[in-house]
Amino acid sequence: MNPYFSLFESSQSLFWASFGGVGIDSFELTGIKTYTRFWGLLMFGSYSVINVIVLLNLLIAMMSNSYAMITEHSDIEWKFARTRLWLSYFEESATLPPPFNIFPTPKHIIKLLGMRKEDKLRRMSTRVRPT
């Protein structure tokens, strides 16, 4: 069957040519003149070139849009990363801000005496059980 017999089949062939599904070998048609084959190949080639240019422009537009969105949100992302870095310097167990954390707090005293639940559970799990 001729892939260029009707308008629908021609459109379908050009659509699949965009994805590389139709090649130049599909133009080996019998019973047509070389003049008609030349113009068909020329139109097919020009369609392929225009298709590549349009798709490349679409890719550039999408990348430009993504870059604009990232640039727009870069200040917020930077502030978030900076805050996360600052919070990583604070101890989770500290109850006082850094100038005053040199004084022992009740939390530290309980931790030093080993009266916390977590410390008791840790000691119980590391204790060797007799068999």
What's the CA gap between 14 and 22, in Å, rounded?
Answer: 8
pTM of the model: 0.50
Every domain of the chain and the residues it spans: 1-89, 93-131
pLDDT along the chain (131 residues), means of 10: 70 79 69 77 85 94 95 92 82 67 75 70 66 55
CB 86 within 8 A of CB 76: no
Return the closest-CA partner of residue 40 out of 8, 13, 68, 75.
Answer: 13
Cα first-last separation, the chain: 83
Count of positions (residues) in the chain? 131
- Chain CA centroid to CA 10, Å: 36
Core vs surface per residue 66-100: b (16+ CB within 10 A) or e: eeeeeeeeeeeeeeeeeeeeeeeeeeeeeeeeeee
**Residue 29: predicted pLDDT:** 66
Specify the pLDDT at position 71: 92
